[in-house]
Amino acid sequence: MEKKNTLKLENEMYTNIRGFAEAVSRNISQWMGEGYEVKLQEVRKNNGVLLQGLIILSKEKNISPTIYLNSFWEMYVSGTSLTRILTMVREIYENSVPANGVDMSFFREYEKVRTKICYRLVNTRRNRLLLEQVPHVELLDLSLCFYYAYESQNLGEGSILIHNNHMEMWNCNTEMLMKAAVENTCRLYPEKLLRMCDIMKECMGESVDVPMHVLTNRIKCYGATAIVYPDVLQKAAEQIGHDLYILPSSIHEVILLPADGEQDEERLKEMIREVNSTCVEPEEILSDSLYFYDHQNKRLDNLSYSG
């Protein structure tokens, strides 16, 4: 039976997330014992949001999840004990790491990853530092980034962001990534166009007639990317019967409104900015812009400032 170390907690209160994260790292390292390396890593997520990541590396396994400590810091500030938090962190690690590791050698060859290369939309200005490190294609005030979509029994469903060094390793270019992503993204994550009245009826049990549709994908994750799928906006405009206003609700979905002369564009722009500043998590904001789709000319435009 594996011998587990006894946890000896530090008697100290932490007043900022960095001190808290370092304490979690020290205590987890002491608790895990020899054969493990525990380290902190600041991780830049979407829109420049920085998270404190904890990585527990085993000498016997070649993969480890990054456990983000920001939510645990909020729990600690709200009164959850450090002992409870450390127990939860260890449980997450033990439940997430595959028993036999994962063979990642396939990732060195472009032809072995090509059929799972996809794209997703991010805000260009908010991600300018990230975009220096990754291949991307700009679209209005947004950028398409590329990632490898994986699904396995050991790891579940997830993604690996493609960086410039991956492109060099594969001896490919942005055009090749874009061609693969156009083919793969809508196949792996097909769009879903939902009537807002149906969503409200399902959530509230009431049928409310509102002229809105929600566009996302099958997993409702980075579903706003569906606006760049071939012919998706054209089909939506034909189904709705008008040109479209597109409100970027978040990176996960957009709201489509018929451009039927009933909408006040300035009010829509104001509403987008207000919702982003009050209701959307910073990491999940797509843009403060209002978009317009002209179905006659098959053209997507930004009606706002660059956001």
pLDDT in tens, 74-92: 999 999 999 999 999 999 9
Confidence of residue 106 (pLDDT cuts 50, 70, 90): confident
d(CA 214, CA 227): 11
Q: ∠ at Cα 30 (80, 86), nearest 5°?
A: 20
48 φψ region: left (φ > 0), alpha (ψ -120 to 50), beta (else): left
Eight-class DSSP state of 16: S
**Beta carbons within 10 angstroms of residue 75's beta carbon:** 15
β partners of residue 143 = 122, 138
- Look at the block and give the residue holding tokens 């978009």: 291
CA torsion sign for 151, 40, 52, 283 is negative
State percent of the chain over pLDDT 70.
87
State the chain's maximal CA–CA distance in angstroms: 72
User: What does the pLDDT read at residue 63?
Assistant: 75
Of the candidates 114, 226, 235, 244, the one whose C-alpha atom is nearest the C-alpha of residue 181 is: 114
β partners of residue 303 = none
Higher pLDDT, 143 or 9: 143
Q: How far is CA 289 from CA 15, 246, 253, in A?
A: 37, 9, 14
pLDDT at 43 over 70: yes
User: What does the pLDDT read at residue 123?
Assistant: 97
